[in-house]
Chain A
Amino acid sequence: MMKKFDLELAVGLFIVAGIVCLGYLSIKLGKMEIMGERGYEIYGVFSNVGGLKVGASVEIAGVNVGRVKNIGLKDYQANVVLSLPKGLQIQEDAIVSVKTKGLVGEKYIDITPGGSEKIIQPGGRIRETQAAIDLEGLISKFIFGKL
């Protein structure tokens, strides 16, 4: 009798643990937030985002620091809202560009930090934006000359 009860308890615990894991996974994969946003938002207006998707990552120096929260149209231009963690300061002259992972990979947002002392406040706008283009780096070096 005692032995059977232990087995049932173990199975029950196992199933509960399984459900908790499933819940955690679906929140993580679905990029939902249950505790509410802990970061802040800034936005930028692009002439073309080339199919950037909501949830795409925001990177600085290749490090994932946030994600694209919303993409909408504003005067026929793409208005992209970025969600960034609190404490990460973005200078007023930082440049945000839409980039592609690899040659045909997914689109993501890259921020190159600036040197200005002015920091963009939550809800503020990044003025310097660079729209999506293919083979960006190559063209860039071709036009402006490599050092």
Chain B
Amino acid sequence: MPLTFPIRTILSLVFILSMAVSSWAAEPMEAIKQTTDKILSIVTNPALKPPSKTAEKDKLIRQAVDERFDWEEMTRRSLATHWAKRTPEERKEFVPLFSDLLERTYMKKVEDYSGEKVLYEGETKEGDYAAVKVKIVTKKDKDIPVEYRLKKEGNNWLIYDVSILGVSLVNNYRTQFNSIISQSSYENLVKRLKEKVELK
């Protein structure tokens, strides 16, 4: 009989702990919301407004984005059939190059933020995969539907594809990469990406 008490405490402790762990593994929509809020707070921060702080602001935004995006998965999906043919060294070179290109392409758009609203429309989950639907409402009351595709990595939901207006980012780059590689070569693709990154 005296044993029941500690056993009960232990059991309830285990239960509480498991609850805590499961709630820590944030839901996909929650994950997107967290990152969006984080980036918006950086962009709207008046202390980071002056042009002299742009570099610092960029760094903070990049950090927030890197936490949420699975760049390797995104690159793997974008290179598709060509990924398997790459050596580990080539992959190691390509992943940061591609993520750099994407970040540079969208950094400007993020920094141009001027009070657009973000509405969270819902999520669908299926095992280790999830999709989160978001609507961005511009000041002119135009809706831009955005869909994030996420994959569960450990306890975290990471983005591997973004669809804007129903057009998938991965599919866009997959087609472009494929046509560049098949028309010229992988080396040429890397060269073009490098040029593009330096230009921005």
Contact = CB atoms under 8 A, between A and B. Distances in A.
Given A115-B84, A128-B149, A146-B176, A93 B165 contact: no
A70 interface: no
A36 interface: no
B164 interface: yes
A57 interface: no
B80 A97 contact: no
Interface residue tally of chain B, by bracket? 20 to 34
B166 A112 contact: no
B163 interface: yes
A133 interface: yes
Interface stretch (A17-25, A101-109, A134-142): A134-142
Contacts of B129: 127
A113 B80 contact: yes
A90 B178 CA distance: 17
B120 interface: no
Given A115-B81, A128-B149, A143 B174 contact: no
Listed from nearest, the 3 A-B pairs whose CB atoms lie closest are: A115-B83, A115-B80, A140-B167
Given A47-B166, A127-B126, A144-B172, 7 more contacts: A112-B80, A114-B174, A115-B79, A116-B76, A116-B77, A128-B149, A130-B166
